[in-house]
Amino acid sequence: MILSRHNPRIREIRALTGSSRERADAGLLVVEGLRCVDTALRCGAELVRLYLAEPSRESEALARVERAGAQTEADVERVDREVLGWASSVQSSTDCVAVVRRPARSLGVLGADVNRALVLEHVGDPGNVGSAIRSAVAAGVDCVILAGRCADWSNPKVVRGSAGTVFALPVVESRSVRDALATLALTGIGASSEGGTSVYEARLPSRGALVLGSEARGLSRDARNACDSLVTIPMVRDVESLNVAAAAAVCLFLMTR
C-alpha cells in the first residue's frame, strides 16, 4: 500500500492534475472520484493505473471498478486515503483515482462519422465545458468541438464536470468555428441572446452543429458569420442570458427532439 506523498506514482497524479503540458506529453489524464471513474470506464476510457483509497467504503460502483481493473493489464494500487486526497484535485475525500490514456483525437479524421455536433467557442470555464459535454452525450450528438480558447478537455475539472462522459464521444479541438464547420461540412446554428429564431421552433439539421460562445461575450463576429442561422432562448423575466452549459442543454434537447 502507498503511504507516502513522496511516492513517484503520487507525484505523477499531482503533475497530471496540475499541468496540461504534462498530460499532453505523457498521453495520459486523471479521472477522480468513484462515480466518475466508473462512468469513464464504462464509456471506454483505457485504464493505465487505478488507485483505491484505504480504508475503503464498499459499494457496487467500487466493485465494478475493481473488476474492471482486474480485467486489464492496469496497475491497481491501494493508497492511504489522506495521501490519495492530497494527490487529487478534488477537495473532498477521494475514494478512487484513475490514470487513463488520453485518446488521440483530431478534427480531420472525424469526417462523415459526424452528423450532429456541439461546438463551443472560447468557453474558458472547465466546469461549463464538462457540463456541456455531458449534455451533448445525453442528447445524442456525435462529437463536441472546442474552438478557439476553450478549457483543455483533459483538465480534471472538465472530466468531473462531464461526470466521466467525456470518453463517450470524440471531443476535439479546432482553431475556429469556421474551420470546424468547413472541415466537417456541417450547417452551423449559432445560439444568441437575441435576434434568432425561437429555440422552441428550431430544429438541428440532419447534418448540423449547435454553436455556443463564451460566457462573457457570446459568439465572436466571425463565428456568427460562419453560422447559417441563429436561435434564441426566450426569457420570461429580465434575465440577459443563461449559463453557457445550461443554454447548451436547453438548445440540444429542444433542437434534437
Q: Is the pLDDT of residue 50 over 90?
A: yes
- Residue 9 confidence (pLDDT) above 90: yes
pTM for this model (two decimals) = 0.93
Q: What is the mean pLDDT of residues 67-94?
A: 87
Supply 76's cell numbers: 491497481
Would you place residue 149 in the very low, low, confident or very high pLDDT band (cuts 50, 70, 90)?
very high
Q: Which of 173, 161, 24 is nearest to 101 (CA)?
A: 24
pLDDT band at 26 (very low <50, low <70, confident <90, very high): very high
In the CATH scheme, what is the homologous superfamily, with its name and number, of domain 8-101? Answer: Ribosomal protein L30/S12 (3.30.1330.30)
Can you say whether the dihedral through the CA atoms of 53, 159, 164, 42 is positive or negative?
negative
Give residue 57's pLDDT: 79
User: Which of 183, 168, 184, 176 lies closest to 150, judged by CA?
Assistant: 176
> Spelled out in words, what is the top-level CATH class assigned to the domain 107-255?
alpha beta
Q: Which of 105, 104, 129 is nearest to 119 (CA)?
A: 129
| Segments making up each domain of the chain, as ranges | 8-101, 107-255
> In what side-by-side order are the strands of the sheet with 143-147?
171-174, 143-147, 116-121, 208-212, 187-191, 229-232, 197-198
pLDDT tens-digit map of 38-48: 999 999 999 99
Check whether 157 has a pLDDT greater than 80.
yes
Q: Summarize pLDDT for 101-141 with one digit per residue, the tens.
A: 998 888 888 877 899 999 999 999 999 999 999 999 999 99
